[in-house]
Amino acid sequence: MNISTDKNVITAFALGVVFCAVLLSPLWLFGGISADDAAAIVVEKIYSDVGMENNIVDVISAEKTGDGLYRVDVSVTEIKSAKNSTYLVTKEGKIILDESEDIEEQKTGDAGDGALAASSGKTVDGVHIKGEDGAKVTIIEFSDFQCPYCARYYSDAYPQILSAYPSDVKVIFKHFPLSFHAQAVPAAEASECAGAQGKFWEFHDKLFENQNGWSNSGRTAFDKYAEELGLDMTLFGNCVDNREFKAKVEADFIEGQQKGVRGTPAFFINDKLVSGSQPFATFKQEIDAALAAAP
């Protein structure tokens, strides 16, 4: 082999090394994927395994363990049952299923319990629900707290739905903060921090009822609402500052994208997509049709 050939071989080898380094640089330079990436990988895997119909995946937490893995706790909720699962994810993005725990199906309460659920709401394993567990129609709402059309739905069709269908409709709230709403993500994360102290729905109501008031002030208003709700302000402040629910909000957004959501508000009424702030009459038509088709 002559000198010219040697140079060509060396050059090709060097280019190959550089090419591989470029491909692997996110892992090599930055130590692997992030916790948010690990959460997104787990959510995508679960939907790939069980499908999107009648399944709701919530990321409870995503954190790095001492052995270089990511521990991702998720809640997978079906219409009448739920399962908590823990996944371990390597820094290269490989998933290892650790353990699963079935949650006993919630039993439907009496009419009084249903009325309470419809009015105050509840959070079960990270899933925010209004309505009875045995409702025949489930509405999954993807919303942005800073979206004016979402606020319009909140003040118009939403209370009418709860009033007209106290036992037949269950509403599940999901986050879909739009990038051009500067306070949408902070508001979503703050609402989850309130939810960690059992006040998600109360915080949800304050955000929609005072949308114009906090859209420019953000954190100052969030602290004010938290204090009015009697939350532990140290816990709330640490939760917001540390962005403890960043992964959960992002997982909701990814779920919405995978389901075909392109704007807010968006609703899935027993899996049928209804987009925009529609009048109550539109929801009534779709709900009545879903009830007629229900077994």
pLDDT on residue 117? 36
SS3 108: coil
* Cα 59–chain centre separation: 7
pLDDT on residue 194? 97
pLDDT on residue 27? 44
pLDDT on residue 97? 56
Task: Print burial letters for 95-110: b (CB count within 10 Å at least 16), e (below 16).
Answer: beeeeeeeeeeeeeee
Residues of the chain with CATH 3.40.30.10: 111-293
Q: What is the mean pLDDT of each run of 10 residues along the chain (295 residues)?
A: 50 49 44 74 71 62 70 62 64 60 33 39 90 94 97 96 96 96 96 96 96 88 96 97 97 96 96 94 97 92
pTM here is: 0.62
pLDDT on residue 109? 33
Residue 8, amino acid: N
- Pairing relationship of beta strands 56-64 and 169-175 according to DSSP bridges: unpaired
The C-alpha atoms of residue 186 and residue 150 are separated, in whole angstroms, by: 16
Rounded to the nearest 10 degrees, the angle between the axes of helix 200-209 and helix 148-155 is: 110
Q: What is the CATH number of domain 35-103?
A: 3.10.450.630
Residues of the chain with CATH 3.10.450.630: 35-103
Nearest one of 105, 265, 293, 62 to 181, comparing CA atoms: 265
- Which structure tokens are listed for 246? 């960043």
Domain 111-293 has CATH 3.90.1150.10: no
pLDDT on residue 80? 43
Nearest one of 288, 292, 281 to 160, comparing CA atoms: 281
The C-alpha atoms of residue 113 and residue 160 are separated, in whole angstroms, by: 19
Give the Cβ contact number of residue 134 at 10 Å.
Answer: 16
* Cα 83–chain centre separation: 16
Q: To the nearest 10°, the Cα dihedral for 54, 95, 173, 257? A: -80
pLDDT on residue 131? 92
The C-alpha atoms of residue 276 and residue 256 are separated, in whole angstroms, by: 14
Instruction: Answer whether 138's CB lies under 8 Å from 271's CB.
Output: no
